[in-house]
Structure 1
Amino acid sequence: MQKRTCGRCMVTILAGAHLLAPKTRREREKTNHPAKRLSCQAQVK
């Protein structure tokens, strides 16, 4: 079974985006807006 993301933890990054790793495939599937991230998927570099 493949894990799905729901998008309920979507956040807008106001500052510090350069400190986050690139978007995961699941994040890219939910939004292509550069400032929107899924907090459950985003990782600090």
Structure 2
Amino acid sequence: MQKRTCGRCAVTLLAGAHFLAPKTRREREKTNQPTKRLACQARMK
């Protein structure tokens, strides 16, 4: 079963980006702006 992402949970990071792991492939496919992340995919380092 393949996981899908819809992009609805996109959030704008105001601070603390250095606490997050790099974007996943799915995040890169949905958002190309550096301050946008998908809440469902973003993980702490």
TM-score normalised per structure 2? 0.94
Q: % of aligned pairs identical?
A: 82
Superposition misfits of 4+ residues, deviation over 6 angstroms? none
- Cα distance per residue 1:7-44 (max 9 Å; x no partner): 01000000000000000000000011000000000001
Aligned alpha-carbon RMSD (Å): 0.7
Q: Which runs of 5+ in 1 are unaligned?
A: none
Size of the aligned set, in residue pairs, is 45
User: Aligned ranges for residues 1-45 of structure 1 at < 5 Å?
Assistant: 1-45=1-45
| Length-normalised TM-score, structure 1 | 0.94
